[in-house]
Structure 1
Amino acid sequence: MYDLDISVCPVPEEQRPINEYQALKESCLFRSSHGTLSKYIKTLAWIWLPSWAIAGPVAAASFDPAKHPVQFALGASAGASVFLVLALVRLYLGWKYVRDRLESPVVEYEESGWYDGQTWTKTSEILARDRLIAAYQIDPVLKRLYRTFGVLGLSIVAGAIGWLVA
């Protein structure tokens, strides 16, 4: 896909930052965070809504939905959000790891799998390409995740206020 001469690169194919980026971008969960906003929101909804199947009965055992509907809804929403937060943390850590590998001028890799820790310094062309990918492809995804964490934080605060008022 990229035309740079990488014949001088001793890093195994699967450990090259550009290939790690491609693999991450094509994986199921990560693909949605890299795509359109509507696809991203749809994926988050597909994580959060089925989580109600677990969180709903737990909340119903604590708060009778007929007697305490607000507490039930807030408790189930908070419980379902735990799964969403876990998925978002996974997305963040994956994208951050690949971004750090792309931006680094030195690539750490394992040749034989025996923890022989080798390093390779990227050529200036490869480093420039990798940093452009990090800046224009991954940084927007990380910003989207930061905003999502912010919205989740605000919804938790709103839920806490709703709990106190109810």
Structure 2
Amino acid sequence: MSPCPVPTEQQPLNEYEALRDSWFYRWPSLDWWTYGQRLGWVAGVGALVAVPVAAASFEPHSQPLKFTLVAGAGVGVLPGLFLLQLYLGWRYVRHRLASQVIVYEESGWYDGQTWEKPPTVLLQEQLVSVYQVEPLLRRLRRTLAGLGLMYVAVGLLGWLCL
């Protein structure tokens, strides 16, 4: 069997380990409390922008409902972007782990090289994909769904009350 021609940093298992060990991409693997705290801090930073914009748009004392709805919607933007980045990064790695054929570059230019994984490597990487990466993606999907429901609720409340 020939050795893997894929450069070390482009091998799916190494890409997985790099994401798993990175400060940002390991957020979904943290316990729920810490994960929520990190997203809360991101929402807090979003609030630093969203609340003044909402206050400039709608006077909080005379239009409290409009102010609250716009501020709430604005606060969710930054966490949504963070969650989307996390989801896309982990989904990319899951795809690379589960694929039988890997596309890689030998040089700085896209040269379209491919490598077919041997059955043992494919099985090992598929197991990592199913048991390590998929639970993280599930958590991210649930969090994104919760954020989406918040936007639906804000939209419905705004539509019904305004």
**Shorter-chain TM-score tier:** over 0.9
Label 1:73 to 1:7 Cα distance change in 2 as closer, same or farther (>3 A): farther
Q: 1:115 to 1:161 in 2, by over 3 A?
A: closer
Aligned to 2:67: 72
Aligned length: 161
Q: In the TM superposition, what is the alpha-carbon distance from 1:114 to its structure 2 partner?
A: 2.4
| Alignment partner of 1:45 is 2:40 | yes
Displacement of 1:7 in angstroms is 7.2
Where in structure 1 do 4 or more consecutive aligned residues deviate above 3 Å? Answer: none
**Secondary structure in 1 aligned to 2:25?**
helix
The alignment's C-alpha RMSD in Å is 1.6
1:61 and 2:59 aligned: no
CA–CA separation in structure 2 for the residues paired with 1:7 and 1:33: 36
TM-score by length of 2: 0.93
Counterpart in the other structure of 1:83: 78
**For residues 111 and 32 of structure 2, what CA distance do their matches in structure 1 show?**
42
In 1, Cα distance between the equivalents of 2:108 and 2:156?
52
TM-score calculated relative to the size of structure 1: 0.91
SS of equivalent to 2:110: coil
Match of residue 111 from structure 2 = 116
**Residue 93 of structure 1: aligned partner:** 88
Greater displacement, 130-139 / 148-157:
148-157
Partner of 1:165: 161
Aligned residue for 1:20? 15
State the secondary structure of the residue aligned to 2:87.
helix
Distance of 2:51 and 2:2 partners within structure 1: 55
Counterpart CA distance in 1 for 2:2 and 2:53 is 57
Q: Deviations over 1:136-160 (max 9, x none)?
A: 1111111111111211121112212
